[in-house]
Amino acid sequence: LKAVAAELHADDCRYLLVGSTELICALDAKLDLRLSLASSPAPRSGERICIVDPDRTPASSVTLQTPGSPDAARAAVRWLRHGAGLCLNGKAQALLTAPVNKAAFAAAGLGWKGHTDLLAHLCGVGRVAMMFHAPQLRVVLATIHLPLREVPVALTCDGLTGTLRILDHDLRSRF
């Protein structure tokens, strides 16, 4: 929410927040952002920030408010699925995600380490690379979701070659 608040004056984008209306409004109040938040099944014209809660998540659930809880991880997956679906169906132009608790994903028995893996699954692709993009610099990560001590073992010729192929393709086709 702080990122949305910081960007509102700099652009004319409309923001669609997917998640619990109750939790988002409570966070807005806690952070004293005073955002104009509208809640509806679909954004109405003129609204800059709209909350869509695809399954009317009861935020009063203690487990949803407990960081790292499996219920919170399952809710995050539902919301990520909904947001990705909006993009894949052409109803949203971009998806910006907040960090997810990877330990909670594991505790919930989800089949993904984090949202990168989940989004790859939803998009039907087997291999992905995470890129950070700025006008003068593009950086692709060779590993993701690993403790630093595990990185040397994770770096393999096949893995690096696959990542470099994605990078080469996307730099040529997208930039």
Q: In DSSP terms, which residues pair with 134 in a beta bridge?
A: 137
Q: Which of 84, 88, 64 is nearest to 74 (CA)?
A: 64
DSSP code of 148?
Answer: G
Alpha-carbon span 88 to 107, nearest angstrom: 28
What is the C-alpha separation between 160 and 166, in angstroms, rounded?
Answer: 10
Question: Residue 60 pLDDT > 80, yes or no?
Answer: no
Mean predicted confidence (pLDDT) in 151-165: 96
Residue 166 in this model has a pLDDT that exceeds 80: yes
Residue recorded with tokens 């700099």: 10
- Whole-model pTM: value is 0.84
pLDDT of the residue at 144: 83
Using the structure block, give the residue that is written with the tokens 């990542």: 163
Q: Name the E strands within the chain.
A: 15-18, 38-39, 49-52, 131-134, 137-140
CA dist., res. 21 & res. 89, Å (int):
23
User: Does residue 157 carry a pLDDT above 90?
Assistant: yes
CB 116, CB 144: distance < 8 Å: yes
The type of residue at 12 is D
User: Given a cut of 80, is residue 158 above it in pLDDT?
Assistant: yes
